[in-house]
Structure 1
Amino acid sequence: MTATSPAQPILKTPTLLLMATACGLCAGANYFNQPLLNSMAQHLQISDAKASSTVTMAQVSYGLGLLFLVPLGDMLERRRLVLVLMLLAAGGMLLSGLSGLTGSFALLAAGTLMAGVFSVAAQVLVPMAASFAAPGSSGRAVGLVMSGLLIGILASRSVAGILSELGGWSTVYWVGAVCTALMAVMLARALPKAAPAAPVGYGEVMKSLAALLRQQPRLRSRALIGGAGFATVSVLFSSMALLLAGPNFQLSDLQIGLIGIVGIAGALMANVAGRLADKGMEQACTLAGAVLMLLGWLALWQGGSSLWWFLVGMLVVDGALQALHISNQNVIYALAPQARSRINAVYMTTYFMGASVGSALGSWAWLSHGWNGTSLMGGLLGLITLGAVIWDRAGRELKNY
Structure 2
Amino acid sequence: MSEHSTTQAVEFEQVRPNPTEDEAGISLPLTILCAATVGLVVGNLYYAQPLLAVIAEDLGLSEAQVGGAASFGMLAQTIGMLFLLPLGDVYNRRPFILASVAASVIALLAVSFSDGIVWFSLACFALGLSTFGTHMTISLAASLAHPAKRGQVVGTVFGGLLTGLLLSRTVSGMIGSAWGWRPVYYVGASVLTVLFFLLWVKLPNSVPQSQMSYPRLLWSMVNLLRTQPVLRLSCAYGAAAFASFNAFWITLAFHLERPPLEQGSDVVGMLGLLGVVGALIAGPVGKLADMYGAQRILATSMLLTFVSFAIFGLGGYSLWALSFGVIVMDLGIQAIQVSNQAQIYSLIPEARNRLGTIYIVVYFLGGTIGSAVGVWAWSRFGWLGVCTSGGIFMGLAILVYIGQWLYGHLKN
- What is the distance in 2 between the residues matched to 1:202 and 1:167? 46
Report how far residue 35 of structure 1 moved: 0.5
The 1:136/1:383 distance shift into structure 2, 3 A limit, reads farther
CA RMSD of aligned residues (A): 2.1
Of 37-46 and 368-377, more deviation after overlay is shown by: 368-377
SS across alignment from 1:195:
coil
CA deviations on 1:164-194 (whole Å, 9 max, x unpaired) are 1333201111111221232233234333322
Is residue 242 from structure 1 mapped to residue 254 from structure 2 by the alignment? yes
Asked if the contact 1:92–1:110 (Cα under 8 Å) also holds between the matched residues in 2, the reply is no
- What is the distance in 2 between the residues matched to 1:20 and 1:280? 28
2:128 maps to 116
Asked if the contact 1:294–1:382 (Cα under 8 Å) also holds between the matched residues in 2, the reply is yes
Is residue 152 from structure 1 mapped to residue 164 from structure 2 by the alignment? yes
- What is the distance in 2 between the residues matched to 1:147 and 1:159? 18
Map 1:199-238 onto structure 2 (within 5 A). 199-238=211-250
Map 1:89-238 onto structure 2 (within 5 A). 89-99=104-114, 103-238=115-250
SS across alignment from 1:119:
helix
- What is the distance in 2 between the residues matched to 1:167 and 1:261? 20
Report how far residue 137 of structure 1 moved: 4.1
Is residue 266 from structure 1 mapped to residue 281 from structure 2 by the alignment? no
Asked if the contact 1:143–1:275 (Cα under 8 Å) also holds between the matched residues in 2, the reply is no
- What is the distance in 1 between the residues matched to 2:202 and 2:405? 40
Query: Which amino acid in the other structure matches residue 114 of structure 1?
Result: A
CA deviations on 1:13-44 (whole Å, 9 max, x unpaired) are 33222211111111111111100011111100
Is residue 252 from structure 1 mapped to residue 267 from structure 2 by the alignment? no
Report how far residue 373 of structure 1 moved: 1.6
1:73 maps to 88
Asked if the contact 1:140–1:274 (Cα under 8 Å) also holds between the matched residues in 2, the reply is no
- What is the distance in 2 between the residues matched to 1:351 and 1:182? 30
Asked if the contact 1:142–1:274 (Cα under 8 Å) also holds between the matched residues in 2, the reply is no
Match of residue 21, structure 1, among 24, 36, 47: 36
Report how far residue 356 of structure 1 moved: 0.9
> So what's the TM-score if we normalise by structure 1?
0.92
Match of residue 46, structure 1, among 61, 76, 100: 61
Is residue 367 from structure 1 mapped to residue 379 from structure 2 by the alignment? yes
2:312 maps to 300
Of 276-285 and 391-400, more deviation after overlay is shown by: 391-400
Asked if the contact 1:63–1:353 (Cα under 8 Å) also holds between the matched residues in 2, the reply is yes
Asked if the contact 1:139–1:277 (Cα under 8 Å) also holds between the matched residues in 2, the reply is no
Unpaired segments ≥5 residues, structure 1:
none
Is residue 356 from structure 1 mapped to residue 371 from structure 2 by the alignment? no
Report how far residue 260 of structure 1 moved: 1.2
Asked if the contact 2:39–2:162 (Cα under 8 Å) also holds between the matched residues in 1, the reply is yes
2:15 maps to none
The 1:88/1:251 distance shift into structure 2, 3 A limit, reads same
Of 182-191 and 265-274, more deviation after overlay is shown by: 182-191
Name the count of aligned residue pairs. 394
Query: Which amino acid in the other structure matches residue 183 of structure 1?
Result: L
- What is the distance in 2 between the residues matched to 1:151 and 1:379? 24
The 1:5/1:268 distance shift into structure 2, 3 A limit, reads closer
Report how far residue 199 of structure 1 moved: 2.1
SS across alignment from 2:46:
coil
The 1:397/1:180 distance shift into structure 2, 3 A limit, reads farther
Unpaired segments ≥5 residues, structure 2:
1-17
> So what's the TM-score if we normalise by structure 2?
0.90
Map 1:371-386 onto structure 2 (within 5 A). 371-386=383-398
